[in-house]
Amino acid sequence: METVYRCQTCGAIAPDKGHLCDPTDVGTEYVCTSCGRHAALKQHVCKPKLIDVQYYCGTCGRTAVKESEICHPKPIE
C-alpha cells in the first residue's frame, strides 16, 4: 500500500509527482501481488488470483484464498 499519483494526461502512475507531467493525487492504491496492477480497492481480483480462490464470505460474498482473510468463510465447491 502506497500513496501514488496519476498523470491526468497519459494515465501513468508514479510514487513521486516529479515523474509526471500533470500529476493528481489518487490517494492510496494497492499493488496486486499476483499481477502487479495498481488498484484502488484491496479486494482487486485478477485472473491469477482466481486460480487460488478457495473461499467466499457468507455475509458479503467477497472471495479469498485463505479462510483468515474473510469474516464468514464458506468453501467454494
Residue 2 has pLDDT above 70, yes or no: no
Residue 38 has pLDDT above 90, yes or no: no
Considering only 17-26, 35-44, 47-56, which range has the smallest mean pLDDT? 35-44
Residues in contact with 33: Cβ distance below 8 Å, sequence separation at least 6, in sequence order: none
Residue 75 has pLDDT above 90, yes or no: yes
pLDDT band at 46 (very low <50, low <70, confident <90, very high): confident
* C-beta neighbour count of 29 within 10 angstroms: 20
Q: End-to-end CA distance of the chain, in Å? A: 32
Q: How far, CA to CA in Å, does 16 sit from each of 35, 65, 72?
A: 22, 32, 39
DSSP SS3 for 22: coil
